[in-house]
Amino acid sequence: MTPTGQTETPQLKIFLLGPPMVTRAGQIVRINRREQRAGLYYLAGRTEPVSRTEICYIFWPDDPEEVARKKLREGLSRLRSALNAPDIFITHNDFVSLDINRVYVDAHEYNKIVLPLLNSSQLTGNGILPEWIYAQLRRAMELCRGHQFLQNVTLHKSTGFENWMSLTDQSFTFSREKILERLAEHCIALGNIDEAIIWLGKITTFDQLNTDVNYLILNCLRELRRFKEAQDYLTFLNQFYQANQLGGLPEILKEMNNRVQREAHEISADQPDKWLGEKTESIPFVGRNDLLVRLNNAYHRKGLVHITGESGSGKTRLVHEFYSRLEYSPRFLFCSGKPMISSTPYAPIVDGLNELVTEKEWLSLPDEIKINLHSLYPAIKFSEKRLSPIIIEKLPDNPLVRIHKALYSLLKIMAEKKPLVMVLDIAEWCDEATIQFLAYLNDRQFFKNFGLLILISRTERRNPALEEYLDRSLLSSNLERMVLEPFTLEETSQLISMTLGKTVSADLLKKIQSQTGGNPYLLIETLKALDLYTIDFSTYSETDHFPIPASIRAIVKEKTRVLAVSTRQVLSSAAILGRRFQSQMLEKMVKIDFETMISALEELQQAGILTGISGSQKVSYYEFPHDQFRQVIVEDLSPARNRALHLAAVQAMLEVKGEVADQASTYAWHYEQAGEYAKAFSAWCAAGRYSRTCFSKVDAYAAYQRALNLLHDLPPDISPVLLRQLLLEWGDYVYDQYDDITCEKLFKTGLELGEAIHDPLLIGISISGLGRVAEMRNEVDEGIELHNRALFFLSKIEGTAEKLETHARLGILYELKDDYLQAKETFLTGLKIDNNFNDPQILDASVNLKSQLAILNCMLGFPAQAESEASQAANESRLINRLSGRVHANTSLAMAQYYGGKYQKSLQTAFSVYKLAEKLNLDWWVSLLDITIAKNYLVVGNLDESWRHLHHAIENKDPGLLHKIIMEHYVIKGDILRLLGDFAAAEEQYRLGAQSPLTELQSLESYFALGLTLCQRNQLGEGVKIIQDAIDRAENLGLESVSLTGKILLPALKNPTIDEISFISETTPYVDELKARGFGSAGLTAALVAAGITLRSGASDKARGCFIEIVEKSKKMNHCWNELWAVSALTSLQINDKEQIKQYQEQKKQILSEMASHAVKAPLSILFKKFSKTI
């Protein structure tokens, strides 16, 4: 389906811009007759309807009108057939047009883009285009598959068509050439010369003698120093012009030829200037490809570029990479700023020139420049090439003009033959005289004409004179700014692989990224340090040692040494707060005045230690961009100061944020670092609870594990209390996750401490927890023994909640052992314990016990009682913190409602917790919900959804965990197949389900259904025998949900000739019992059988009344199948009222139609169609 607001692209497409083509769903459509093809192209090329008269005149001007119109009708008919699109043409009155909603035409899209822009100032002007217009024009050119409209199409007998095609092509060619020229201009202005050549080349494919375009192509090639290509192209042009134009090659192209020859010779004789900056070849170059493209464009465009970023972000390395990738090297002047304390005026430029200018160039300077330089540099000797440092005080008055003119002239001489690339590194250290000279160059547009100036500066250092120059350059000289951002995680991973020659674990990658902030220099230093340690890069985890290089420690100490005392105080507190923190918290921690605080934060930002995070947030945040810096600062704190600052941090956060759940892990960490282990333990438990509400298993486990790690640091008097809290919380959670390994480790720890301090409560909780481990491992007898042992110890104390919980667990094990009556007795015993529901723990245990009892009562055949218990549990579950308790309670309620015949309510209840169960990873309970939902959907006639949930219940699940769910799966799948009349397939499913011991409810259900299926297949003897056996077994086990239903059906199966009175007499006690217990559809099943017996006896009127009553009750309950069977019986009645029979048939048809709309997927769709024909 297409998203709202978008139209779906038609499958039929007609392409006119270039060699024409017609496609459907990507496949070419063949239209054999040329005249019909031309007619289709003509209608496709028109945007408005065309009259039949006009079409006839265009194609058949010499034919009589009737003949022409007949040809038109026949042509349109053949086109509809060839295109397999009967509605492709719209005919209204005497007009014909293509239905643009059913066909795509490239020319229409082209015109939609081009026509609004054709006469706009953007297209008729020059310079750089707005990005959106550039994208639109590129799209228009992508649509052009050739250089002509309907390229290579002819229809000689139709002058009108040829004229229309010629006029349309002229318009197309004009607009296309104009767009190509504008795209080339845009790319040249942007500096993207390579792309400009592509656009210009497209023009020459249809206009090779365009001298202006040929000149531009040659100039672009010359700009790129691709002289060999330029020479080859000139040779081709010379031959082409000689052959096609009087006078041969135009004069302007001859001049370009001479220039190319001269510059090619000069380039071949020159040696490229060497890189004079910091040597960076050994450092792998990663990412920054977009910046390289921008630098390359700027080089060809000429002008100014400012590259900025924090120290170590790779600014100089980027420029080196750019320079090394240039195919033809320009003159390269590398200058570097010097610290102000040791810098003399113009020092960066003087040093750069000393390295670049050759002795021959110095000696060849004009006398005027020599004189100016001599007066500027008194120590210069013309026979030597080197300059001496300038001493302004000894110069004549007003030397600046002379200095600037001399240096300007020198740079012009250097840029005469090749462009000049001037790099000014560490520009923030430049003296004012150097910056004034750069402004002098800007005023004369030096770099716009002769090359590129690249200024490199650090974000953490300020130079007001430089900032003023940059601002002015941005306005007057189109300076382009480039900011080097930290490496992304992907780029960091790439650098690590290239540096170490190996990949690292995800944990180590995240650690390195966090520690270095993606700063390339810090990354390299960190990787060097890591390489010295015996670290397994592939298995590193958060808990492993992570070294901080000595070089980075030195950088931190150097940065902090010069800070003010108050700033260092603020920094220590900030480092304790963590990598990212709120300024309000820092204000609460540090007892200094507000202005001093602001100054300190600004100084830390200026030093590159902190960064401020701005945006739409209501509160301001600060962050350590490199966590290594923060760690070095924390490690230098004394133990006493460290503890004091952590406690101050907690207090500050409590004042700002209060006791909020999402901050529990932060509080816990600070308490732990301060040595307040009891508070840390409780806070880690709170963090675990919060993570559970966020459905984060990893975070919950981590928080609880941190609490457990503190166990031996806790004071002896409170450690048992805190451990009991952890056992109950984490124990319930790992049980819900079916994690027997963690569960065993946890409760063994509790048992060791309980036995060591002789704490019966702790021992009882721990042994009961180990009983749960046995349950998860299907060691039922072991689990029963452990829970009974736990009850012995729990009987020695007053703890009610633990006793309730253990009775619930013990009952579950009896249920797993198929001792259903003992399980119920155990559950009821637990409920008899005095309860104080004001205690959250007792309430939690009560919810669990009632939920389990409700499920068991559904199995035992007491749905009304089960619904009452489950409703209580569901209400109480809203008052407890454990979200899984809500899932358990509502699942049991949905089951009870299903057995009670409240199918829609059951579905609503099940879906109310379905997503929650999935988020909590409660696989077993999700599967049980799926089974319950599948049962309900089957009853209400939604076969597709029943089938989907039935299979989702067992997909990608552990078979050991879902044994009884799988057995129930066989039952329901068999029921679906049996109801649809595929008895053989149903029998196969029931036999699979009956393979398990017949002490399990699910196996007994399959066994009972197997007997019923055999009866339906006319194997009454065997079928009745199985049903009787299933009833007996179920009765012995107390599973009355099976036995009572069987006792209703058995009389009619055992005695097919039984009369109505005998049947009712024999089954009434069981029907009454089922109704008393709250079974919803029990009475309907018996009524259907009785009505059938009545009908068989010939009492049609009485049977009719019975079936009508069943229909009404089935509708009320939404029991689709009972309603269908009753209505089907009504349609078969032999009555005189034909209208009534017709009404019954219509009713049956409606039921089947509704069911069919929910049985559209394989394999049910086929089965249902067969079923519909047979019922």
1080: nearest Cα among 895, 881, 840, 830 = 895
Taking 70 as the threshold, does the pLDDT of residue 275 lie above it?
Answer: no
Three-point CA angle 195, 201, 207, nearest 5°: 150
How far, in Å, are 935, 937, 1089 from residue 859 at the CA level? Answer: 15, 20, 24
- Report the topology of domain 289-483: Rossmann fold (3.40.50)
Tokens of 1102: 């009485």
pLDDT digits (tens, 9 = 90+) for 518-540: 888 888 888 877 765 666 666 66
- Report the topology of domain 10-207: Arc Repressor Mutant, subunit A (1.10.10)
1023: nearest Cα among 1050, 1062, 992 = 1050
pLDDT digits (tens, 9 = 90+) for 699-751: 999 999 999 999 999 999 999 999 999 999 999 999 988 899 999 999 999 99
Taking 60 as the threshold, does the pLDDT of residue 926 lie above it?
Answer: yes
pLDDT digits (tens, 9 = 90+) for 1046-1069: 999 999 999 989 998 999 999 999
Assigned CATH for 798-932: 1.25.40.10
User: Chain-wide mean pLDDT for the chain?
Assistant: 87
pLDDT digits (tens, 9 = 90+) for 470-494: 999 988 888 999 999 999 999 888 8
Taking 70 as the threshold, does the pLDDT of residue 1121 lie above it?
Answer: yes
Tell me the domain boundaries of the chain.
10-207, 211-269, 289-483, 718-795, 798-932, 1060-1175
Taking 50 as the threshold, does the pLDDT of residue 393 lie above it?
Answer: no
Three-point CA angle 31, 34, 37, nearest 5°: 55
Tokens of 931: 């089974």
Residues shown for the chain: 1175
Q: In the prediction, which pLDDT does 122 show?
A: 82
Rounded CA-CA distance 101/81 in Å is 18
Taking 90 as the threshold, does the pLDDT of residue 1126 lie above it?
Answer: yes
Taking 50 as the threshold, does the pLDDT of residue 390 lie above it?
Answer: no
Q: In the prediction, which pLDDT does 806 show?
A: 93
**Bridge partners for 13 per DSSP:** 23, 104
Query: Which residues touch 565 (CB under 8 Å, ≥6 apart)?
Result: none
Q: Which percentage of the chain shows pLDDT scores above 90?
A: 50
Taking 60 as the threshold, does the pLDDT of residue 271 lie above it?
Answer: no
- pLDDT, average across residues 113-139: 87
Are 1144 and 1127 in contact by the 8 Å Cβ rule? The answer is yes
Tokens of 468: 């003023």
Query: pLDDT band at residue 190, thresholds of 50, 70 and 90?
Result: confident
Query: pLDDT band at residue 229, thresholds of 50, 70 and 90?
Result: confident
Do 10-207 and 289-483 show the same overall fold? no
Taking 80 as the threshold, does the pLDDT of residue 1023 lie above it?
Answer: yes
Q: Which percentage of the chain shows pLDDT scores above 70?
A: 93
Coil, strand, or helix at residue 156? coil
**CATH architecture, domain 718-795:** Alpha Horseshoe (1.25)
Q: What's the whole-model pTM score?
A: 0.63
Taking 80 as the threshold, does the pLDDT of residue 1035 lie above it?
Answer: yes
Strands (E), 532-625: 580-582, 611-613, 621-623
Taking 70 as the threshold, does the pLDDT of residue 2 lie above it?
Answer: no
More confident residue, 546 or 164: 164
**Bridge partners for 622 per DSSP:** 581, 612
Query: pLDDT band at residue 543, thresholds of 50, 70 and 90?
Result: low
For residue 1163, give the DSSP letter.
Answer: T
CA dihedral for 571, 577, 583, 587, sign (positive or negative): negative
- pLDDT, average across residues 763-779: 94
